[in-house]
Structure 1
Amino acid sequence: MRRGGVQTIAPATILFDRDSGRESDALARITMATLQFSPNVAAAEEAAILIDVSTTLRLFGGPRKLRRRIIETVAAMGFSAMVGSAPTAQGAWLIARSGGGTALTMASLQSRLAGLPILTLPAARKFADWFDGLGCRTLEDLRRLPRAGLQRRCGADFLDALDRAYGEAPEIFEWAEAPPAFDAAVDLPDRIENAEQTLAYVRGLLVQMVGWLTARHLAIKRFRVELRHERGRAAIAPTAIEIALAEPNWHEEHLVRILKERLALVAVEAPMIAVAVSAIDTEPVAPPTDSLFPEPGGTPADHARLLELLSARLGADKVRQSCLRADYRPEVANDWQPATEKPARVSLPAALPRPTWLLGKPVPLIERDHRPFYGSPLHIVSPPERIEAGWWDGQLVTRDYFVAEGKDHTCYWIFQERMGSREGDESRWYLHGLFG
């Protein structure tokens, strides 16, 4: 409808000129913010954003909770979102354009698409009169038409767009990439004289920064907020607020809470016309722990309580931890004890060669040409390490340990029982461990 017609029907209507540049900027900002939900985000036609959540859906608690999170995130930036979810990106786009909703399976997607108007599909709009003449109103009607005739009349691109929606053609995307640094600004809708009143607009930039941090696997340690004043001849230097965190963080709620406290203390000299946020100091997010409990946030007390519960249910002999014994014999020094017992303090010996894998029981080796043999002749590559221990408990060992190398360059920890040992008067070779 033309401007004059609108004014005639509704004289009180306020009209604005469309600004394509601001629309593109807003779409780019929202794209950056939604990177917190998936690393695969792409801009699409008609102010749409496609988010592949196939690998992150469970992380956010399922489709409904994720849909709500996305709507809240976009709302925090000052926009409204219509969200569609489907097994195909084109199908989700069509659902979003027709009011939003969810189709979790291909069957439900086909049912949902069947009733959509043909003109929902952008490729069909230039053929609107032709389809209307055929009495073709919905996508289901369109799918009933002969494909060969449709291809001759509308072209292969038209059929490809339709097939992508139904998952019958591959979809190719150009995923968005987060820049190496974050520095974003947004103009205020009007002059604002109170710093606290800019919170909603700065929050939108923080949401955008959270998406950037997530995409780059970073946590923020220090960031800068600028409250910008007049430009031009009457330019005034921006009011800068630098916020340093005690611990690196990337959660929106935490950042907004700290910012709110800081804005309450700021007094500005002139009205503000824009706000900006820049990341000054970041560090990589700490990787998950290598322990049995990979989820962060657990305390040593939580760990101890869980071990106590498992030991009570399974038995202390079923839940064990490795420990060291003050003994030179390798098979005695490496031991296990109940997980609820505190390991004894044992000073480690000097840096002597020790294998990654110690065998539970030494394996006797054969000899060929007066050399130990284990798949191939073993070459001694270290001086001997003599161990004599166990006389006090009747388990005497008298051994000379060596590092030996096989034909394939695998290293072994072997020992030779000395003459007069408890094993007998014959000196024999044994394999006791393997090096990594």
Structure 2
Amino acid sequence: MLWIALYLPQLPLQALPWSHTGLEAALPVAVAEQHVLLGANRAAHALGVRAGQSVATALSLLPQLVVIPRERACEAALVERLALALGALTPHLSLAPDGVLLEVQSTLRLFGGIHALLHRAQALAHASGVQARTGCAPTPGAAWLFATSGLARPHALKARSSAQQLDRLPVASLSRLLPPSPRQSELLQALGIQTLGALRALPRAGLQRRLGVDLGLALDRSYGDAPDPRPWFAPPEHFTARRELMQRADEAAVLVAAVEALLPALRGWLQLRWQAVTELALRLRHEHGREPRPDTRLRLRLSAPSRDIGQLALLWRERLQRHALATPVYEIALELETAVPHGGTPGELLPAPGRQDGEHAALLDRLAARLGGDHVQRWVPQADHRPEHAQRARAAGEPPPASIAIPAAAPAAPRPLWLLPLPLPLVSDALGRPRHGGPLRVCSRAERIEAGWFDGALVRRDYHVAEGADHRLRWIYREHPSDVSSGGWFLHGWFG
């Protein structure tokens, strides 16, 4: 097995809700829990504030420091969102309080090796808006120790090299797996144990009697001498991701950047659940002035199921740019409304000729996002022999019906590309021949269309292809002489 660990050193600070006072400006900010600082931003760090200091000490050094209590719920939500994004790399994920562990042995060949996989993991973390340190080892404990210890080369692919690197780690790094008690720390210091290798070299019976079983078990699991079962991360049944903005947004560019940070988690959820999105919703929470402002809900419908976050980001950019914000937005929520089962697209050695369904659907979705779903339509065939009823307009983003009853084969007679909205009456000469800017020459045999008895709009027509003096081909018909009408000629369409 091979594990990758992603450790979030600034998680308490990065997970803070940005509605806290002071986070919108370049002020020194720190996160504290039980009167001890857990992290500080760059402004505070430059002025001498460090993690591990007491709040009193930090305030004595920097009276203008903004101290914010830790938000564990926000940290758990951020770690889960990162785990969903990493679901695009492997379904074997395990959550830690401040990071994510990935078992990637089965996906190495798919992504081109461990180095490409590490690069993708870092890119997904960056796209999700977090800073992560990575570690790689044959066991999850060793990978986590490598990521949290700040090694120059925190990657070991073999058990032997992993054990050699673990031997050089200080004993204090073991607290990342199992925090030692004060008595254990004092005993290790009294024994002069400085590294994990020296601790492992002690007799195991005496080590367990003096330091307990748990510490020795954590050490054995890191070296691979004992099994290390981990609970797998299970994605939620429904996808919803929220993000509070770093600044109040009154333009589309800020909202687009916030939505793009949520899309990697959506793609990972879709891959873990073997689904593809067909309809998304974006809820915008506005600032409340004198009167409460209701949330704005925007919907995005796709003409074809997709997992492509690049396409989704482009569609949301087009959608948000044409939406005027009445009041600034301080939080967004991306919700998956409709998804369909999707096992992925099979690979092809050579692209099939004329295979442009995906590009055509992407173009329709982009036009609908830019112009509005009601302004982009497509024709859907109908089970009717009458040309004016053989198809109808449907919104481009509207999902197609489950089934369409259409003839198994196209009609043998030619059909024009341009059909007139209403048939145009034609004049006839003394012999009853049609005229349209001059005499028309009939070029085809009659095609009888007789239908509409079932809805009270019966038609009985004989269609022909006719050529005029301008050498343009027309689609004309003559009403059946037994009809109540005069049996005249009509122009119904033009051939391209």
Relative to the length of structure 2, the TM-score reads: 0.56
Match of 1:170 in 2: 227
Residue in structure 2 matching 1:28, options 80, 96, 108: 80
Equivalent residue in structure 2 for 1:93, among 137, 144, 169: 144
1:282 to 339, 354, 373: 339
Q: Gaps spanning 5+ residues in structure 1: where?
A: 289-293, 304-436
CA RMSD of aligned residues (A): 2.2
Instruction: State the shift of 1:197 in Å.
Output: 0.6
Distance 1:2 1:242 in 2: 48
SS of equivalent to 2:234: coil
Output the amino acid matched with 1:44. A
Whether 1:140 and 2:197 are equivalent positions in the alignment is yes
Cα 1:244–1:108 change in 2 (3 A) is same
Contact 1:118 1:124 in 2 (8 A): no
Q: What does 1:127-276 correspond to in 2, within 5 Å?
A: 127-230=184-287, 234-276=291-333
Kindly state the Cα deviation for residue 94 of structure 1 after the two structures are TM-superposed.
0.5
Q: Spell out, residue by residue over 1:340-385, the C-alpha distance to the aligned partner (whole angstroms, 9 max, x if none).
A: xxxxxxxxxxxxxxxxxxxxxxxxxxxxxxxxxxxxxxxxxxxxxx
Within 5 Å, which residues of 2 pair with 1:30-429? 30-45=82-97, 47-99=98-150, 101-122=154-175, 123=178, 125-126=180-181, 127-230=184-287, 234-286=291-343, 295-296=347-348, 298-301=350-353
Q: Which residue type is aligned with residue 115 of structure 1?
A: R
Task: Check the 8 A contact 1:76/1:200 in 2, yes or no.
Answer: no
With over 3 angstroms needed to count, the CA separation of the structure-2 counterparts of 1:128 and 1:223, relative to structure 1, is same
Letter of the structure 1 residue corresponding to residue 180 of structure 2: R
Q: What is the CA distance between 1:15 and its match in structure 2? A: 3.0
Q: CA deviation at 1:297?
A: 7.8
Aligned residue number for residue 332 of structure 1: none
Please report how far the alpha carbon of residue 84 of structure 1 lies from its aligned counterpart in structure 2 after TM superposition: 0.7
Does structure 2 retain, via aligned residues, the 8 Å contact 1:221–1:283? yes
**Equivalents in 2 of 1:28, 1:90: separation in Å?**
20
CA gap of 1:66–1:191, structure 2 versus 1, over 3 A, is same
Superposed displacement of residue 13, structure 1: 4.3
Partner residue in 2 for 1:7: 59
Give the deviation of 1:244 after TM superposition.
1.9
Secondary structure of 1:125's aligned partner:
coil
What is the count of residue pairs matched by the alignment? 297
* Conserved 8 A contact 2:249-2:255: yes
| % identical equivalent positions | 33
**In the alignment, which residue of structure 2 is the partner of 1:405?**
none
Q: Which amino acid aligns with 2:286?
A: H
Residues 1:107 and 1:243: Cα distance change in structure 2 (over 3 Å): same
CA contact (8 A) 1:39 1:215 kept: yes
Amino acid at match of 1:111: Q
Are residues 147 and 287 of structure 1, via their aligned partners in 2, closer, same or farther at CA, if it must alter by over 3 Å? same
Give distance in 2, aligned partners of 1:269 and 1:172.
Answer: 52
Segments of structure 2 that go 5 or more residues without pairing to the other structure are 1-52, 356-496
Q: For residue 347 of structure 2, give the secondary structure of its aligned residue in structure 1.
A: coil
CA 1:74–1:222: 2 relative to 1, 3 Å? same
Cα deviations across residues 14-38 of structure 1 (Å, max 9, x unaligned)? 4332112211221122122221111
Which stretch shifts more, 208-217 or 246-255?
A: 246-255
Which secondary structure does the structure 2 equivalent of 1:300 belong to?
Answer: coil
Shift of the alpha carbon at 1:124? 5.6
CA distance in 2: counterparts of 1:95 and 1:153, whole angstroms: 27
8 Å CA contact 2:252–2:317 kept in 1: the answer is no
Distance 1:65 1:302 in 2: 33
* 8 A Cα contact 1:77 1:205, kept in partner: yes
| Worse-matched range after superposition: 102-111 or 117-126 | 117-126
Q: What one-letter code is carried by the residue in structure 2 that aligns with 1:129? A: E
What CA distance in whole angstroms lies between the structure 2 residues aligned with 1:60 and 1:190?
A: 37
- Residue by residue over 1:300-356, the C-alpha shift from the partner in whole angstroms, topping out at 9 and shown as x without a partner, is 2499xxxxxxxxxxxxxxxxxxxxxxxxxxxxxxxxxxxxxxxxxxxxxxxxxxxxx
Does the 8 A contact of 1:85 with 1:103 survive in 2?
Answer: yes
Alignment-mate amino acid for residue 69 of structure 1: R
Contact 2:133 2:147 in 1 (8 A): yes
1:91 shift after superposition: 0.7
Deviation, structure 1 residue 252? 2.1
